[in-house]
C-alpha cells in the first residue's frame, strides 16, 4: 500500500473543506483534500453569501472572482410572499408582502458602513467549482476527488487514514499530523464518537433545481426568494422559488430552485413523477415544462456536536453543526470555521503556537454555532407567524382562500389584516436583516486576552451591529487611504500574520512589536494610522471606532479578530505585548 505524508488531511470537498485547503496553502501549510464524489455537488443548496464570508474570501483573493460571477445585490434585495406565479383568477398573482433583505434597497447604507464587502448570491453549485479550481492551483495543496475516507486511527504523533481511490478501487494510507473532518458529518464524526444533539426531523423537504424561462410571469427583478402560497395547491400548500442566475438575473434568471415540503409520511415525495404536477399546481402554471437539472431531498434539523476536537481530529462545518437554511448561516459559518481553524493549525504546525491553541477553536466556534442554531430554528419557526399573518391554514384550503380574500379586501378588516402582517414582518426581519448575527459574533473565551470590559449587549433582534475593538470581536471596518488608494482596516490583516494597529509613532509600539516578533518568530506587522503616516484615516472613522487613544494599540489576529488591546501608552510595551501574545498562542514568549 502506497503511503502519503502530509501535515493536514482534509476530509470533504464541500465549501468548508475547499476553503480550508485554500486558506492553509496561503498560510504556507501543505494539505491533502479528499472528496468521495467525482465532481463538486450538483445541487445549488446554499446561495446567500454574507458580507462577513465575503470579507474572508477577500483576504484570500477569492472575493473579486465571486463578484465577477455572482448576482448583484439589487437582485437579492427583496423577499416576497405571493399567491401564485401564473393564473388570472381573482386571487392569482397577488403579493401579500415584500420585505427588504441582505443589505439591499434602503438597507444599503446601513450595511455598507460596516464592511468593505457586499453580500451576494452565489449558489454552492458554482462556489464549490471556483473554490476547487483555486484550491487545486496552489502548490501546497493536493485535491483528490473520487477519493473516500474509509477508516483512520490516531496516536500521539498523528493520524493514519485509509483512503479509497474509487476510480481504481485501490486503497492507500495517509499519515497526517491533523485531520479536518469537513465531511458534513458522514464519516469522521461518527468514527470518533461525536454526538450531535438537538432538534431533528422538523420538516421533510424536496428541492427541484431546473432551467426555465419564467420571465413572462414575473413583475419584478429584485426578489431573491418568493414564497408561493396557493391554497388550491393542496393542504400542504406552499413552495419557495429562488432565482439562481447564472448570467441573467431577476425575471430573466435562467435557473431556479423550488423547495417544497411534503408530509413526512407521504411516499410520493420520493417519486419524481409527482414533483412536476405539484410545482405546476403550486405556481399555477399548468403548462410549465422545466428542464430539471437535479432533485434533492433534505430534512430540517438544528444539531450541534458535543465536541469539536478529538485529539488530532477537528470537526468543521456541517460535520459539527447543522441548521435550518433560514437566515443562510450554514455554508457561511462553515467557511468561518475554516478561517478560524486554519490560522491556528498553521501557527501550531510552524511552531509559533502550542498545540493547545487548537482547543480554542472549539471554545470560540462552538458557542457561535450554538447561537446560530437557535437563531435558525427561531427564524424557521417564524414562518408559522407569517402563515398566520396571511391567513394560511394548512390542511384547510377553503378557509385559507376565504382568509386571503379578507386580507386583500378594501375594508377595515383587510386593513387590519395587512397591518397585522406588517407587524409580523417586524419579527420576520430577523431572517433577512440579521446584520449583527452575521458581523457581530465574537469570542469571549479562547485565543484572546480579555481587557476586563463587559460583553456589550447585542440587539435582541439581530439587526443593529455595534463595531468594537474589544478583544474577541471582529476588527471594525473603516476606510483608510494608502498611496492614494482606499483600503479597509481589514485589508491590513494578511493571511497567517498578526497586525498591531497604532496611532502615534512615539508611543513605542512599533519597536516593541518588532522585538516580540523577532524573539517569538511570530509574523507581526505594525501599521501606524495617522495623518503623518503612510496609512491615513482621512474621513476620521477609525479614530472614532478604535476606542483606544492615539497612544494605544490594537493587536489583530490573522482572522481579523482582535486578540488584545491597550487603551493607551504603556511603560513596558514589549512586556505587555509579549504577555498578550503568550496568552493568545498558548506558549511562553519572553519580553
Ligand atoms: C436547500 C438548502 C439551502 C441552503 N441555503 C444556504 C444559504 O443560503 N446560505 C448558507 O450559508 N447555507 C445554506 N445551506 C446550508 C449549506 O448548504 C451547508 O451548511 C453547507 O453545504 C455545509 O458545507 P460543508 O462543506 O460543511 O459540508 P458539505 O457541503 O456537506 O460537504 C461535505 C462533503 O464531504 C464529502 N464526504 C462525506 N463523507 C466523505 C468521506 N468518507 N470521504 C470523502 N469525502 C466525504 C461529501 O461528499 C461532501 O461533498 C443550505 C442548505 C440547503 C439544504
What is the mean pLDDT of the segment spanning 178-191? 98
Ligand 1 nearest atom to the CA of residue 188, by list position: 41
Say if residues 28 and 496 touch (Cβ distance below 8 Å). Answer: yes
**Strand 479-482 relative to strand 309-310: parallel, antiparallel, unpaired?**
unpaired
- Ligand 1 is surrounded, with C-beta below 6 A, by 11-17, 34-37, 41, 45-48, 124, 148-149, 182-184, 186-187, 207, 259, 298, 317-318, 325, 328-332, 334
Question: Is a pLDDT exceeding 80 seen at residue 443?
Answer: yes
Q: Looking at mean pLDDT, say which of 227-231, 258-262, 441-445, 501-505 comes out highest.
A: 441-445
pLDDT attached to residue 268: 74
pLDDT attached to residue 236: 56
Question: CA 326 from chain center: how many Å?
Answer: 12
Per residue in 536-547, pLDDT (tens digit) is 999 999 999 999
What is the mean pLDDT of the segment spanning 406-420? 98
Ligand 1 nearest atom to the CA of residue 12, by list position: 34
Question: CA 548 from chain center: how many Å?
Answer: 30
DSSP-assigned states of every residue in 387-407: HHHHT--TT-HHHHHHHHHHH
Domain range annotation of the chain: 479-585
**Strand 78-82 relative to strand 95-100: parallel, antiparallel, unpaired?**
antiparallel
Q: CA 469, CA 498: separation in Å to the nearest integer?
A: 15
Work out the number of other CB atoms within 10 angstroms of the CB of residue 164: 18
Which of 33, 146, 184, 308 has most ligand 1 atoms within 8 Å of its beta carbon, as the pocket-test mutant?
A: 184
Question: Is a pLDDT exceeding 70 seen at residue 235?
Answer: no
Per-residue pLDDT band for 233 (boundaries 50, 70, 90) equals: low
Say if residues 361 and 43 touch (Cβ distance below 8 Å). Answer: no
Q: Residues 6 or more apart from 384 whose CB is under 8 A from it?
A: none
Angle, helices 397-408/359-390, rounded to nearest 10 degrees? 80
Per residue in 524-565, pLDDT (tens digit) is 999 999 999 999 999 999 999 999 999 999 999 999 999 999
Architecture of domain 479-585: 3-Layer(aba) Sandwich (3.40)
Say if residues 563 and 448 touch (Cβ distance below 8 Å). Answer: yes
User: Residue 331 Cα, ligand 1 centroid: separation in angstroms?
Assistant: 7
User: Residue 368 Cα, ligand 1 centroid: separation in angstroms?
Assistant: 18
Per-residue buried b or exposed e for 535-545, using 16+ beta carbons within 10 Å of the residue's own CB: bebeeebbeeb
Do you find a cis peptide bond into 246, omega within 30 degrees of 0?
yes
Per-residue pLDDT band for 264 (boundaries 50, 70, 90) equals: low
- Distances from the Cα of 57 to the Cα of 62, 67, 329, 516, 535, angstroms: 5, 11, 16, 29, 23
Task: Return the closest-CA partner of residue 160 out of 145, 171, 176.
Answer: 176
Per residue in 139-167, pLDDT (tens digit) is 999 999 999 999 999 999 999 999 999 99
Question: CA 16 from chain center: how many Å?
Answer: 10
User: Residue 404 Cα, ligand 1 centroid: separation in angstroms?
Assistant: 37
User: Residue 428 Cα, ligand 1 centroid: separation in angstroms?
Assistant: 25
| E runs forming strands in 405-516 | 479-482, 485-488, 498-502
Per-residue pLDDT band for 237 (boundaries 50, 70, 90) equals: low
Per-residue pLDDT band for 438 (boundaries 50, 70, 90) equals: very high
Torsion angle defined by CA atoms of residues 214, 215, 221 and 222, in that order, rounded to the nearest 10 degrees: -10
Please give the grid coordinates belonging to residue 460: 435582541
Ligand 1 nearest atom to the CA of residue 259, by list position: 1
Query: Where do we find the cell 503612510?
Result: 534
Give backbone dihedrals phi and psi of 537, rounded to 5 degrees, phi first: -95, 70
Q: CA 297, CA 310: separation in Å to the nearest integer?
A: 31
Between residues 4 and 274, which one has the greater pLDDT? 4
Per residue in 88-130, pLDDT (tens digit) is 999 999 999 999 999 999 999 999 999 999 999 999 999 999 9
User: Residue 399 Cα, ligand 1 centroid: separation in angstroms?
Assistant: 39
Torsion angle defined by CA atoms of residues 85, 416, 98 and 425, in that order, rounded to the nearest 10 degrees: -130
User: Residue 318 Cα, ligand 1 centroid: separation in angstroms?
Assistant: 6
Q: Residues 6 or more apart from 578 whose CB is under 8 A from it?
A: 516, 519, 520, 589, 590, 591
Question: Is a pLDDT exceeding 80 seen at residue 505?
Answer: no
Question: Which residues sit opposite 195 in a β-bridge?
Answer: none
Say if residues 27 and 140 touch (Cβ distance below 8 Å). Answer: no
Q: CA 130, CA 122: separation in Å to the nearest integer?
A: 11
Whose CA is closest to atom 4 on ligand 1?
46
Rg (CA), the chain: 25
Query: Where do we find the cell 476588527?
Result: 475
**Which spans in 445-565 are helix H?**
509-520, 541-545
Largest Cα–Cα distance of the chain, in whole Å? 78
Ligand 1 nearest atom to the CA of residue 40, by list position: 49
- Distances from the Cα of 555 to the Cα of 231, 339, 474, 545, angstroms: 57, 18, 11, 15
pLDDT attached to residue 260: 84
pLDDT attached to residue 266: 75
pLDDT attached to residue 232: 72
Say if residues 448 and 472 touch (Cβ distance below 8 Å). Answer: yes
- Distances from the Cα of 128 to the Cα of 133, 302, 318, angstroms: 9, 24, 15
Give backbone dihedrals phi and psi of 570, rounded to 5 degrees, phi first: -120, 145
Per residue in 362-379, pLDDT (tens digit) is 999 999 999 999 999 999
What 3-state DSSP class applies to 482? strand
What is the mean pLDDT of the segment spanning 501-528? 94
Between residues 439 and 400, which one has the greater pLDDT? 439
User: Residue 188 Cα, ligand 1 centroid: separation in angstroms?
Assistant: 14
What 3-state DSSP class applies to 356? helix
Q: CA 323, CA 163: separation in Å to the nearest integer?
A: 29
Task: Return the closest-CA partner of residue 438 out of 60, 115, 122, 61.
Answer: 115
Amino acid at each position: 500500500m502506497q503511503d502519503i505524508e502530509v501535515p493536514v488531511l482534509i476530509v470533504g470537498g464541500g465549501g468548508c473543506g475547499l476553503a480550508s485547503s485554500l486558506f492553509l496553502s496561503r498560510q504556507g501549510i501543505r494539505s491533502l483534500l479528499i472528496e468521495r464524489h467525482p465532481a463538486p455537488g450538483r445541487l445549488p443548496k446554499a446561495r446567500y453569501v454574507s458580507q462577513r464570508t465575503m470579507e474572508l474570501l477577500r483576504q484570500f483573493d477569492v472575493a473579486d472572482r465571486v463578484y465577477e460571477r455572482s448576482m448583484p445585490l439589487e437582485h437579492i434585495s427583496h423577499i416576497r410572499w405571493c399567491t401564485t406565479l401564473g393564473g388570472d383568477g381573482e386571487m392569482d398573482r397577488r403579493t401579500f408582502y415584500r420585505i427588504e433583505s441582505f443589505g439591499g434597497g434602503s438597507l444599503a447604507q446601513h450595511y455598507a458602513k460596516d464592511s468593505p464587502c457586499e453580500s451576494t448570491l452565489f449558489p454552492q453549485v458554482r462556489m464549490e467549482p471556483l473554490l476547487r479550481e483555486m484550491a487545486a492551483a496552489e502548490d501546497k495543496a493536493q485535491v483528490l476527488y473520487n477519493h473516500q475516507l474509509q477508516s483512520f486511527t490516531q496516536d500521539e504523533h498523528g493520524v493514519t487514514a485509509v483512503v479509497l481511490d474509487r476510480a481504481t478501487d485501490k486503497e492507500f494510507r495517509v499519515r497526517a499530523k491533523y485531520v479536518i473532518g469537513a465531511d458534513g458529518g458522514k464519516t469522521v464524526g461518527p468514527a470518533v464518537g461525536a454526538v450531535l444533539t438537538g432538534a431533528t426531523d422538523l420538516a421533510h423537504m424536496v428541492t427541484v433545481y431546473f432551467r426555465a424561462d419564467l420571465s413572462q410571469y414575473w413583475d419584478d427583478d429584485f426578489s431573491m426568494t418568493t414564497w408561493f402560497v396557493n391554497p388550491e395547491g393542496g393542504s400542504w400548500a406552499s413552495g419557495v422559488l429562488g432565482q439562481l442566475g447564472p448570467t441573467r438575473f431577476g425575471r430573466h434568471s435562467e435557473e431556479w430552485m423550488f423547495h417544497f415540503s411534503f408530509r413526512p409520511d407521504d411516499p410520493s415525495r420520493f417519486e419524481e413523477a409527482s414533483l412536476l404536477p405539484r410545482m405546476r399546481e403550486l405556481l399555477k402554471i399548468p403548462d410549465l415544462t422545466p428542464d430539471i437539472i437535479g432533485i434533492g431531498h433534505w430534512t430540517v434539523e438544528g444539531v450541534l456536536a458535543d465536541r469539536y476536537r478529538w485529539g488530532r481530529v477537528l470537526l468543521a462545518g456541517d460535520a459539527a453543526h447543522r441548521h435550518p437554511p433560514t437566515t443562510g448561516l450554514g455554508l457561511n459559518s462553515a467557511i468561518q470555521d475554516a478561517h478560524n481553524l486554519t490560522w491556528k493549525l498553521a501557527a501550531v504546525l510552524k511552531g509559533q503556537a502550542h498545540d493547545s491553541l487548537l482547543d480554542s477553536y472549539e471554545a470560540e466556534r462552538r458557542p457561535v454555532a450554538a447561537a446560530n442554531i437557535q437563531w435558525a430554528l427561531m427564524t424557521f419557526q417564524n414562518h408559522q407567524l407569517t402563515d398566520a399573518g396571511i391567513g394560511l391554514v394548512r390542511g384547510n384550503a377553503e378557509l385559507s382562500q376565504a382568509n386571503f380574500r379578507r386580507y386583500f379586501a378594501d375594508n377595515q378588516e383587510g386593513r387590519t389584516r395587512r397591518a397585522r402582517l406588517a407587524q409580523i414582518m417586524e419579527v420576520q426581519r430577523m431572517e433577512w436583516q440579521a446584520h449583527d448575527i452575521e458581523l457581530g459574533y465574537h469570542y469571549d473565551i479562547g485565543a484572546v486576552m480579555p481587557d476586563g470590559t463587559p460583553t456589550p449587549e447585542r440587539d435582541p433582534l439581530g439587526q443593529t451591529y455595534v463595531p468594537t475593538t474589544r478583544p474577541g470581536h471582529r476588527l471594525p471596518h473603516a476606510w483608510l487611504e494608502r498611496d492614494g488608494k482606499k483600503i479597509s482596516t481589514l485589508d491590513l490583516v494578511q493571511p497567517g500574520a498578526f497586525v498591531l494597529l497604532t496611532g502615534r509613532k512615539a508611543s513605542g509600539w512599533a519597536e516593541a512589536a518588532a522585538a516580540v516578533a523577532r524573539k517569538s518568530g511570530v509574523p507581526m506587522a505594525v501599521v501606524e494610522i495617522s495623518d503623518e503616516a503612510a496609512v491615513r484615516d482621512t474621513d476620521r472613522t477609525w479614530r472614532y471606532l478604535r476606542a483606544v487613544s492615539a497612544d494605544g494599540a490594537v493587536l489583530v489576529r490573522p482572522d481579523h479578530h482582535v486578540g488584545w488591546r491597550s487603551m493607551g501608552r504603556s511603560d513596558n510595551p514589549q512586556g505587555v505585548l509579549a504577555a498578550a501574545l503568550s496568552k493568545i498562542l498558548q506558549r511562553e514568549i519572553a519580553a
